[in-house]
C-alpha cells in the first residue's frame, strides 16, 4: 500500500473513532450527569420530579434517622433551612452519623423522597465534602460551617 | 537525631540529584552513573529513617505524632510511614530515584543513558524540592505528645498497606519512561533501538501499576463494606488514565521495536503517560475532590503540583514539537495487518482514556463556573464499556495476524469455533440469570477473547504434544497470559456488575434470612477487643447444601481515631462470594440489627484476571531480560514471535 493511502486510511479510522466517541460521550453526559443540590436549592429551583437523578448534600438532621417497615434506612438531609427525606436500602458508610456531613446520590420517587443508590460520608474527622461546606456556608454563614468543622466527633 | 539524619539525607539526595541532572544533560559518563546510584541510596536511607521513626514511635516527629499510635500493630506502623501526605511524597521520591539508580545499573552505557539519567535527575530534583519545601516529613515538635493521633482505621489493612508501594512503582515508574523518551528526543534518536531499550521499563511500570490498582480495588471490595470494587471515583480514574495510556504504550512500542513504525506516536504516549500521572497526583492531592487520598488537603500544595505539571508537560511537549518532525516514518503496511491491529488498539485505548478524562475533569471545570455536578458510573458504563467491547472483538484476530499484511478471511474461518462458543455461553448465561442488557455483550466478548487466545496459542504450539508448550517463546506466553487475563476479567466484571444481588435484612436474634439458596441465622452479637480497636462481632450460622458454619461479620471502633470500620465476612464458593456485613441497630426496635447480605458472582475472576494481566506483563519483561541481545544485531527479517510457530503457519503471505 502506498504511503499516501496508508496515511489517509489512518486518518480516516482515527476520525471515525473520535467522532463516534464524541457522540457517545455527549449522549452519555446528557443522560447521566447528576447535579449537586442543597435541600434549599431543591425548593428554590423546584427541582424535585419523579425519576430525576440528583446528588444532594448537607448534614444528617439530628433525630431524623430511623428505619421504615422493610428495615431500610430513612433520614433527612438538612442545610439549616430546608430538609429532604432520603431512603437508603443499604448499610451506610462507617462515618455516617447524625449531625455529620453527607452526600446522597439517587433518584426522586413519587413522594418527593430521594431513593439513594449511594450515600457518602466524610472520609475522616478533619474533612468534609467541599460541596457540603460551601452549602452550609451559604445558608448558615461562615460561622456555622466553621463551628461544624471544629465540632468534636465523639 | 534520626529524623535530622533523614532530613540531611534528603538534602544530600537533592544535591546529588541536581548534579546528576546537570552532568547527565551536559557531559555524561561514569560520574552520572555514580550520582544516580547515590541519589537512590540517599533517598532509600532517608525513607528508612522515617520508617524507623514510625516503628520506634518517636512522637517528637510531627508526622509520627499525627499518624501513629502506640497501640497500632507493627505492620501498620511501618505502612504508616507512607499512609499520609508527607511520607507518601518521600516514597514518591524514593521510587523516582530508585528508577534512576536502576537505570544507571541496567542500561547500556552511552548518550541515551546519560541523558535519561539527566532528565530523571531533573524530575527527582523537582520532587525532592517539593518534599523539602512544601511537605517535609521530618518536622519536629517542641512539645511531643505522650501518644499519637492514630491512623485512619480504613487504611489499617494489609492490601492497602502494600497498595502505595506498588502503585508508585507503576505511577512514578512512568517518570523513567518519560525520561527515556525525553532523552531520545534530545539526542534525536527515536528508532527501533530506542524502543527496545524503553520497553522493559514501560512493562515494569505498567505491570506494577496494574497490581497497585488491583490491590486498591480488592481493598475497596472488602473494607468499605458495600462490596463495590470500582466506583469510577476521580481518584481511581487518576490512576486508571495513566494505566490506559501506558497499556497503549507497551503495545505501540512493539510496532516501533519490531518494525520501526509509529515512532513519533510511541514517544508521544511515553510523554503523555507521565503527564497524566502528574495530573492524577494533582487531582488527588490538591483537595479539588473528596477522597480518602486527600490526606490533608492544601490548596497551596495543589498550586505547586499544578506548576510542576505545567513545567514538565510544557517542556516535554515543546521538545516533542521541535524534534518529532525529524522522526523517521516506518515501512509501509496494509491496513489489515499486525501494525494495523496495534494501531487500532492504540486508537481505542487513547480514546477510552480521553473519555475517562472528560468524565473526570468536567465536574471540576463546572465547579469553577459555580455549577456543581457529578458524573458517575452510568456515564463510564455507557462510554467506556462499548469502547472496550469493540476493541476486544479484535484481540484474538490481532494476535494471530502477521506483520505488513494479513488475509482476514482465513483468520475468520479459523476462529469461528471461538465465536460460536462465545455466543452459546453468552446466550446461555443470559437465559439462566434473566439479565440480558449488559450480560450478553460482556460475556460474549470475554469468552471470545479467552477461547480465541487459547486457539491461537494451540496453533502456535502446533501438533506434537504438550512437550512443545514449553518451547514457546516467553514473549508469546506473556502476551497470551495477559490477554487471557483480560478476557477472564471482562467475564468476571460483567457477571459481577449485571448479576450481583444484595439485600438488607432487619434481624432479631434467632431470626433467619434466606438468599440465593443460603440460609442465615442471626445468633446475636458479642464484643471482642483487638490491639487498638473494640469490636462488635455478630454470630451468624450459615447453611448451604447441608453444610453449616458460623461466620462473624464485625463492626470495629477505633477509639484513638474516633471512627470505625466494617469488617465483612466473606465465604468463597465456586460461583462467587457470599458477602455479609453487619449494619446498625434499629433505634425504634431494640435488638434488631440490619444485616446486609450480598452475592457477588465471579468476583475472583475480576481480581484474578487483573492479576494475570500483571503477570503477563512481568513474563514479557522476563523475556526481554533473558534475551538481552543488542537489537542492532538482529536481522530485521526474523520475528521472535514467529519462531515458535510450526512452518505451516507461514501460510499467510508475509
- DSSP secondary structure letters along B488-516: HHHHHHHHHHHH-EEEEEEE-TT-EEEET
Q: B383 — contact with chain A (CB < 8 Å)?
A: yes
Look at chain A and report how many structural domains it folds into.
Answer: 2
State yes or no: pLDDT of B11 exceeds 90: yes
Q: B389 — contact with chain A (CB < 8 Å)?
A: no
- Looking at the fold, whether B450 and B478 belong to one and the same domain comes out as yes
- Looking at the fold, whether A28 and A102 belong to one and the same domain comes out as no
- Looking at the fold, whether B195 and B282 belong to one and the same domain comes out as yes
Angle between helices B158-171 and B234-259 (to 10 degrees): 40
- Looking at the fold, whether A50 and A126 belong to one and the same domain comes out as yes
Q: Are B163 and B216 in contact (CB under 8 A)?
A: yes
State yes or no: pLDDT of B289 exceeds 80: no
pLDDT greater at residue B247 or residue B467: B247
- Looking at the fold, whether A65 and A17 belong to one and the same domain comes out as no
DSSP-derived secondary structure letter, B61? B
Query: Which among B590, B607, B589 is positioned nearest to B493, based on CA atoms?
Result: B607
Q: CA angle, B364 as apex, B361 and B370 as ends, to 5°?
A: 150
Chain B residue with minimum CA distance to A123: B292
Backbone angles phi, psi at B518, to 5 degrees: -110, 145
Name the burial class of residue B463, with classes exposed (0-12), middle (13-18) and buried (19+) by CB atoms within 10 angstroms of its CB. exposed
Separation in Å, CA of A111 to nearest CA in chain B: 22
The model's confidence at residue B565, banded by pLDDT at 50, 70 and 90, is: confident
Query: Which among B356, B560, B556, B395 is positioned nearest to B489, based on CA atoms?
Result: B395
Asked, for residue B387, whether it belongs to a domain, the answer is no
pLDDT at B303: 82
Backbone angles phi, psi at B189, to 5 degrees: -135, 80
**ipTM summary value:** 0.75
The string of pLDDT tens digits covering residues B182-241 is 999 999 999 999 999 999 999 999 999 999 999 999 998 988 777 789 988 888 899 999
- Looking at the fold, whether A60 and A23 belong to one and the same domain comes out as no
- Looking at the fold, whether A27 and A62 belong to one and the same domain comes out as no
Query: Which among B95, B109, B92, B127 is positioned nearest to B21, based on CA atoms?
Result: B127
Predicted TM-score of the model (pTM): 0.89
Which domain covers residue B563, as residue numbers? 501-603
Asked, for residue B386, whether it belongs to a domain, the answer is no
Average pLDDT over residues A30-54: 83
pLDDT at A147: 46
- Looking at the fold, whether A27 and A75 belong to one and the same domain comes out as no
Contacts of B589 in chain A (CB under 8 A): 67
C-alpha to C-alpha distances, B15 to A7, B36, B42, B612, B637, nearest whole angstrom: 48, 11, 10, 41, 47
Asked, for residue B344, whether it belongs to a domain, the answer is yes
Write out the H or E segment, with its range, that includes residue B220. helix B192-223
pLDDT at B560: 81
pLDDT greater at residue A50 or residue B487: B487
The string of pLDDT tens digits covering residues A51-75 is 888 888 888 888 888 888 777 889 9
Task: Look over chain B and give the mean of its residue pLDDT values, rounded to a whole number.
Answer: 87
Name the H helices within B401-506: 408-433, 439-461, 474-499
What is the DSSP pairing of strand B563-567 with strand B554-558? antiparallel
- Looking at the fold, whether B154 and B267 belong to one and the same domain comes out as yes
Q: B347 — contact with chain A (CB < 8 Å)?
A: yes
Cβ atoms < 10 Å from Cβ of B179:
30
Put simply, the answer to whether B382 touches A31 (Cβ < 8 Å) is yes
Which domain covers residue A119, as residue numbers? 36-150
Of the candidates B383, B503, B563, the beta carbon closest to that of A28 is on: B383
- Looking at the fold, whether A40 and A19 belong to one and the same domain comes out as no
Look at chain B and report how many structural domains it folds into.
Answer: 3
- Looking at the fold, whether B319 and B452 belong to one and the same domain comes out as no
- Looking at the fold, whether B20 and B90 belong to one and the same domain comes out as yes
Asked, for residue B218, whether it belongs to a domain, the answer is yes
Contacts of B285 in chain A (CB under 8 A): none
- Residue B384, C-alpha cell as written in the block: 467506556
pLDDT at B290: 53
Of the candidates B296, B374, B584, the beta carbon closest to that of A36 is on: B374
- Looking at the fold, whether B491 and B619 belong to one and the same domain comes out as yes
- Looking at the fold, whether A29 and A40 belong to one and the same domain comes out as no
| Cα A118 to chain centroid, rounded | 8
- Looking at the fold, whether A115 and A95 belong to one and the same domain comes out as yes
Asked, for residue B393, whether it belongs to a domain, the answer is no
Q: CA A45, CA A56: separation in Å to the nearest integer?
A: 13
Q: B206 — contact with chain A (CB < 8 Å)?
A: no
Segment 322-341 of chain B within 8 Å of chain A by CB: 329, 332-335
- Looking at the fold, whether A53 and A114 belong to one and the same domain comes out as yes
- Looking at the fold, whether B430 and B295 belong to one and the same domain comes out as no
Average pLDDT over residues B636-648: 39
Chain A residue with minimum CA distance to B386: A24
Average pLDDT over residues B434-440: 77
Q: Are B476 and B396 in contact (CB under 8 A)?
A: no
- Looking at the fold, whether B485 and B615 belong to one and the same domain comes out as yes
Contacts of B383 in chain A (CB under 8 A): 21, 24-25, 28
Segment 41-60 of chain B within 8 Å of chain A by CB: none
pLDDT at B627: 65
Separation in Å, CA of A40 to nearest CA in chain B: 14
- Looking at the fold, whether B491 and B512 belong to one and the same domain comes out as no
The model's confidence at residue A132, banded by pLDDT at 50, 70 and 90, is: low
Contacts of B587 in chain A (CB under 8 A): 65-67
CATH label of the domain that carries residue B577: 2.60.98
The model's confidence at residue A154, banded by pLDDT at 50, 70 and 90, is: very low
Q: CA B616, CA B611: separation in Å to the nearest integer?
A: 9
Q: B27 — contact with chain A (CB < 8 Å)?
A: no
CATH label of the domain that carries residue A114: 2.40.50.140
- Looking at the fold, whether A41 and A29 belong to one and the same domain comes out as no
State yes or no: pLDDT of A124 exceeds 70: no
Helix, strand, coil percentages (3-state) for chain B, rounded to 5, are: 65, 10, 25
Put simply, the answer to whether A67 touches B565 (Cβ < 8 Å) is no
pLDDT greater at residue A45 or residue B600: B600
Put simply, the answer to whether B383 touches A21 (Cβ < 8 Å) is yes
- Looking at the fold, whether B335 and B469 belong to one and the same domain comes out as no
Asked, for residue B399, whether it belongs to a domain, the answer is no
- Looking at the fold, whether B61 and B104 belong to one and the same domain comes out as yes
- Looking at the fold, whether A110 and A142 belong to one and the same domain comes out as yes
Contacts of A51 in chain B (CB under 8 A): none
Q: Are B177 and B205 in contact (CB under 8 A)?
A: yes
Q: B566 — contact with chain A (CB < 8 Å)?
A: yes
Amino acid at each position: 500500500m502506498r504511503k499516501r493511502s496508508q496515511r489517509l486510511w489512518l486518518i480516516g479510522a482515527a476520525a471515525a473513532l473520535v467522532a463516534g466517541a464524541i457522540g457517545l460521550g455527549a449522549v452519555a453526559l446528557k443522560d447521566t450527569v447528576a447535579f449537586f443540590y442543597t435541600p434549599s436549592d431543591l425548593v428554590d429551583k423546584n427541582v424535585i420530579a419523579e425519576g430525576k437523578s440528583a446528588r444532594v448534600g448537607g448534614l444528617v438532621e439530628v433525630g431524623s434517622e430511623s428505619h421504615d417497615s422493610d428495615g431500610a434506612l430513612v433520614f433527612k438531609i438538612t442545610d439549616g433551612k430546608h430538609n429532604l427525606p432520603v431512603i437508603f436500602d443499604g448499610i451506610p458508610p462507617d462515618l455516617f452519623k447524625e449531625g455529620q456531613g453527607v452526600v446522597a446520590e439517587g433518584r426522586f420517587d413519587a413522594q418527593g423522597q430521594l431513593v439513594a443508590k449511594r450515600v457518602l460520608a466524610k472520609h475522616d474527622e478533619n474533612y468534609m465534602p467541599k460541596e457540603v461546606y460551601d452549602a452550609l456556608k451559604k445558608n448558615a454563614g461562615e460561622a456555622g460551617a466553621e463551628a461544624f468543622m471544629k465540632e468534636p466527633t465523639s | 537525631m534520626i529524623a535530622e539524619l533523614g532530613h540531611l539525607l534528603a538534602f544530600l539526595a537533592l544535591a546529588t540529584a541536581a548534579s546528576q541532572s546537570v552532568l547527565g544533560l551536559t557531559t555524561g559518563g561514569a560520574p552520572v552513573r555514580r550520582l544516580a546510584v547515590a541519589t537512590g541510596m540517599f533517598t532509600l536511607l532517608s525513607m528508612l529513617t522515617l520508617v524507623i521513626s514510625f516503628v520506634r514511635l518517636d512522637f517528637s516527629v510531627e508526622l509520627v505524632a499525627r499518624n501513629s499510635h502506640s497501640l497500632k500493630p507493627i505492620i501498620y506502623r511501618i505502612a504508616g510511614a507512607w499512609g499520609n501526605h508527607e511520607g507518601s511524597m518521600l516514597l514518591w521520591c524514593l521510587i523516582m530515584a530508585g528508577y534512576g539508580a536502576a537505570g544507571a545499573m541496567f542500561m547500556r552505557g552511552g548518550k541515551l543513558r546519560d541523558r535519561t539519567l539527566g532528565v530523571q535527575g531533573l524530575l527527582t530534583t523537582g520532587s525532592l524540592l517539593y518534599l523539602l519545601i512544601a511537605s517535609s516529613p521530618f518536622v519536629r515538635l517542641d512539645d511531643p505528645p505522650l501518644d499519637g493521633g492514630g491512623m485512619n482505621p480504613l487504611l489499617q489493612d494489609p492490601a492497602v498497606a502494600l497498595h502505595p508501594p506498588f502503585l508508585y512503582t507503576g505511577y512514578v515508574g512512568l517518570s523513567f519512561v518519560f525520561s527515556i523518551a525525553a532523552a531520545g528526543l534530545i539526542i534525536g534518536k527515536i528508532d527501533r533501538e530506542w524502543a527496545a531499550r524503553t520497553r522493559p521499563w514501560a512493562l515494569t511500570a505498567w505491570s506494577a501499576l496494574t497490581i497497585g490498582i488491583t490491590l486498591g480495588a480488592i481493598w475497596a471490595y472488602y473494607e468499605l463494606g458495600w462490596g463495590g470494587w470500582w466506583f469510577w471515583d476521580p481518584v481511581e480514574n487518576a490512576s486508571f488514565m495513566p494505566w490506559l495510556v501506558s497499556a497503549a504504550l507497551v503495545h505501540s512500542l512493539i510496532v516501533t521495536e519490531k518494525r520501526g513504525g509509529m515512532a513519533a506516536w510511541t514517544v508521544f504516549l511515553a510523554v503523555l503517560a507521565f503527564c497524566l500521572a502528574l495530573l492524577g497526583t494533582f487531582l488527588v492531592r490538591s483537595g479539588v475532590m473528596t477522597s480518602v487520598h486527600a490526606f490533608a488537603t492544601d490548596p497551596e500544595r495543589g498550586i505547586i503540583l499544578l506548576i510542576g505539571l505545567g513545567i514538565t508537560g510544557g517542556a516535554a511537549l515543546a521538545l516533542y514539537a521541535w524534534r518529532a518532525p525529524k522522526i523517521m516514518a516506518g515501512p509501509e503496511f496494509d491496513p489489515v495487518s499486525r501494525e494495523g491491529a496495534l494501531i487500532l488498539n492504540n486508537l481505542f485505548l487513547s480514546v477510552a482514556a480521553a473519555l475517562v478524562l472528560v468524565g473526570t475533569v468536567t465536574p471540576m471545570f463546572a465547579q469553577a463556573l459555580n455549577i456543581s455536578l457529578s458524573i458517575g458510573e452510568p456515564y463510564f458504563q455507557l462510554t467506556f464499556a462499548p469502547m472496550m467491547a469493540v476493541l476486544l472483538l479484535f484481540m484474538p484476530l490481532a494476535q494471530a495476524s502477521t506483520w505488513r499484511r494479513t488475509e482476514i478471511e482465513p483468520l475468520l474461518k479459523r476462529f469461528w469455533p471461538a465465536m460460536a462458543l462465545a455466543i452459546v455461553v453468552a446466550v446461555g448465561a443470559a437465559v439462566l440469570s434473566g439479565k440480558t442488557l449488559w450480560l450478553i455483550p460482556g460475556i460474549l466478548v470475554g469468552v471470545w477473547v479467552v477461547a480465541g487466545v487459547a486457539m491461537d496459542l494451540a496453533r502456535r504450539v502446533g501438533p506434537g504434544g504438550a512437550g512443545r508448550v514449553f518451547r514457546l517463546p516467553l514473549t508469546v506466553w506473556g502476551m497470551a497470559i495477559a490477554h487471557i487475563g483480560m478476557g477472564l476479567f471482562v467475564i468476571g466484571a460483567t457477571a459481577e456488575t449485571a448479576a450481583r444481588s444484595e439485600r438488607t435484612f432487619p434481624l432479631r436474634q434467632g431470626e433467619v434470612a434466606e438468599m440465593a439458596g443460603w440460609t442465615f441465622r442471626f445468633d446475636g452479637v458479642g464484643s471482642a477487643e483487638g490491639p487498638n480497636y473494640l469490636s462488635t462481632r455478630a454470630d451468624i450460622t450459615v447453611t448451604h447444601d447441608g453444610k453449616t458454619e458460623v461466620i462473624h461479620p464485625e463492626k470495629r471502633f477505633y477509639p484513638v481515631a474516633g471512627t470505625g470500620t466494617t469488617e465483612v465476612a466473606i465465604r468463597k464458593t465456586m460461583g462467587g462470594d457470599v458477602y455479609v456485613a453487619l449494619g446498625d441497630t434499629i433505634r425504634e426496635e431494640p435488638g434488631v440489627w440490619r444485616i446486609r447480605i450480598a452475592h457477588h458472582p465471579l468476583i475472583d475472576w475480576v481480581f484474578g484476571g487483573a492479576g494475570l494481566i500483571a503477570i503477563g506483563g512481568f513474563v514479557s519483561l522476563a523475556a526481554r531480560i533473558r534475551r538481552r541481545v543488542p537489537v542492532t544485531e538482529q536481522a530485521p527479517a526474523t520475528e521472535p514471535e514467529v519462531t515458535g510457530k510450526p512452518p505451516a503457519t507461514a501460510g499467510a503471505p508475509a
